[in-house]
């Protein structure tokens, strides 16, 4: 079996290459990488990165140069009397402060001053007194992120759009890690379990891990919080099968880590990491505004690097906790350029400045909301009877599926919770049967069921969806 190379190894090399805007030769890249990779291994991995489309290579005079293959588009440019199309880097609109950060972090790594973790960056923040997002900006985000379910129980809106969210967020967040699955491949993997041709097991596992973590956030929206248990659970789900040491899945790191392509060195002592992890989450939990809370997590979780790996993924999904609980549109990171996101994090790591990450966050959120405008407009008003018996409905559906019972009136009566009052029992039974008419492996998660549980039940009840099986 061929050796599986962790994506993080490729990420580190791609980051080093990106620090040479004019291109770099093999020796320059090797020097920037430091010791650890042989020249031959580095050449092979550079060739793999070219094949993946993440970097480009060309011979210039007598030397072969590697450079970052930035996400590009075309732009109409007028030159004299002619209009021509020229490639430009796709980036997010930047504020003056964001532009300054971009210019600094795009210097060669040798021109940037090495820095360590600065506790005063976190200490200077006072929840509900210090604001990374100004009041006018928070108001703007609340306006664009409002959903029809704002007065409903936590997680209602995310459950309503779960099918779409699973694909969007799993794909977009994985793409920011260099995953080469496209959106259609991601949809087929999530909906049908079909692995895309030519993709390695790590990329597939990354997508499926995102799916599991998103389902956890949405399914348990009433119980999740910005706290240790939830964030640790996110790491366990997102890192499953992806760490060199499986024991570190869902555990804080106990060793020093490095950031590829950066002069930033995170905090090394495990005791200090544990302490500041608690401080970060405690401060985040005190923040009242959901957007400020989300952005704070996107800043300080990656800055601390509390885990061996998968820190950025954890921060992106953790940022969705306050949005899901407040029934705001989630942040899916659709179309966010990887180069802008990486530059923004380097600005936090090396300068303790948040302006570029704020530019990315605001643009990404507004872009995400655009994806759900049509979804929101087609949502039907909530059914008050269904809302009243939401917990009982979940209990009854689970009991039928896990008990292998047919979706018929007798099974519903047998599984009906005691909380359903006698006068509502007939209506409740109809509600349960209606749910089975539209249930499938993709949406069974609404009732806390795994896809395999539903499929096993369906095999026992092959007429699911017919008038016979779901009628009284």
pLDDT at position 72 is 46
Q: Summarize the confidence of residues 237-253 as an average pLDDT.
A: 93
Nearest to 206 by CA among 244, 232, 180: 180
For 396-430, what is each residue's pLDDT tens digit? 999 999 999 999 999 999 999 999 988 888 889 99
Rounded Cα distance, 144 and 136, in Å: 13
The pairing of strands 82-89 and 72-79 is: antiparallel
- Is residue 70 pLDDT above 70, yes or no? no
Q: Sorting pLDDT into bands at 50, 70 and 90, what band is 303?
A: very high
Phi-psi region of 153 (alpha: psi -120 to 50; beta: other; left: phi over 0): beta
Alpha-carbon dihedral angle through residues 389, 390, 391, 394, given to the nearest 10 degrees: 120
3-state secondary structure of 260: coil
Least confident of 38-52, 63-77, 98-112, 192-206: 63-77
Class of domain 96-377: mainly alpha
Domain with CATH 1.10.10.10 in the chain: 7-68
Round the average pLDDT of the chain to a whole number and report it: 86
Q: Summarize the confidence of residues 148-175 as an average pLDDT.
A: 88
**DSSP state string for 133-155:** S-HHHHHHHHHHH--TTTTSSTT
The domain made up of 7-68 has a fold known as Arc Repressor Mutant, subunit A (1.10.10)
Domain with CATH 1.10.3290.10 in the chain: 96-377
Rounded Cα distance, 203 and 195, in Å: 10
């Amino acid at each position: 079996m061929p050796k599986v190379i962790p994506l993080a190894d490729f990420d580190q090399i791609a980051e080093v290459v990106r620090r040479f805007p004019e291109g770099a030769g093999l020796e320059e890249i090797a020097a920037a990488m430091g010791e650890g990779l042989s020249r031959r291994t580095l050449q092979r991995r550079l060739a793999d990165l070219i094949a993946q489309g993440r970097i480009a290579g060309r011979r210039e005079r007598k030397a072969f140069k590697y450079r970052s293959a930035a996400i590009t588009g075309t732009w109409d440019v007028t030159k004299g009397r002619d209009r021509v199309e020229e490639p430009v880097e796709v980036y997010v609109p930047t504020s003056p402060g964001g532009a300054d950060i971009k210019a600094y972090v795009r210097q060669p790594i040798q021109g940037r001053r090495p820095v360590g973790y600065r506790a005063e960056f976190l200490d200077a923040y006072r929840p509900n007194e210090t604001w990374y997002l100004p009041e006018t900006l928070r108001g703007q985000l609340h306006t664009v992120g409002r959903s029809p379910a704002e007065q409903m129980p936590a997680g209602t809106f995310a459950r309503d759009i779960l099918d779409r969210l699973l694909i969007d967020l799993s794909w977009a967040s994985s793409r920011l890690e260099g995953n080469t699955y496209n959106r259609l491949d991601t949809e087929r993997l999530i909906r049908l379990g079909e692995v895309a041709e030519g993709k390695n097991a790590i990329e597939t596992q990354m997508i499926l891990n995102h799916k599991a973590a998103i389902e956890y956030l949405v399914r348990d929206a009433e119980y999740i919080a910005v706290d240790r248990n939830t964030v640790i659970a996110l790491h366990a789900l997102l890192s499953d099968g992806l760490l060199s040491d499986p024991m570190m899945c869902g555990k804080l790191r106990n060793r020093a880590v490095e950031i590829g392509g950066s002069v930033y060195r995170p905090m090394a002592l495990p005791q200090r990491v544990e302490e500041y992890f608690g401080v970060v989450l405690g401060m985040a939990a005190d923040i009242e505004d959901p957007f400020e809370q989300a952005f704070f997590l996107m800043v300080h979780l990656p800055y601390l690097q509390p885990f061996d790996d998968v820190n950025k993924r954890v921060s992106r999904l953790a940022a969705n906790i306050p949005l899901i609980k407040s029934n705001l549109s989630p942040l899916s990171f659709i179309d966010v350029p990887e180069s802008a996101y990486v530059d923004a994090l380097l600005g936090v790591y090396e300068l303790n400045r948040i302006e570029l990450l704020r530019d990315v966050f605001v643009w990404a959120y507004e872009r995400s909301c655009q994806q759900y405008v049509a979804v929101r407009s087609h949502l039907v008003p909530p059914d008050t009877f269904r809302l009243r018996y939401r917990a009982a409905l979940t209990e009854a559906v689970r009991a039928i599926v896990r008990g292998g019972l047919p979706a018929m009136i007798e099974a519903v009566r047998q599984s009906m919770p005691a909380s359903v009052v006698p006068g509502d029992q007939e209506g409740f039974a109809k509600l349960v049967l209606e749910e089975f008419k539209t249930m499938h492996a993709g949406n069974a998660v609404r009732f806390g069921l795994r896809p395999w549980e539903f499929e096993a039940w369906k095999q026992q009840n092959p007429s699911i969806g017919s008038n016979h099986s779901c009628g009284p």
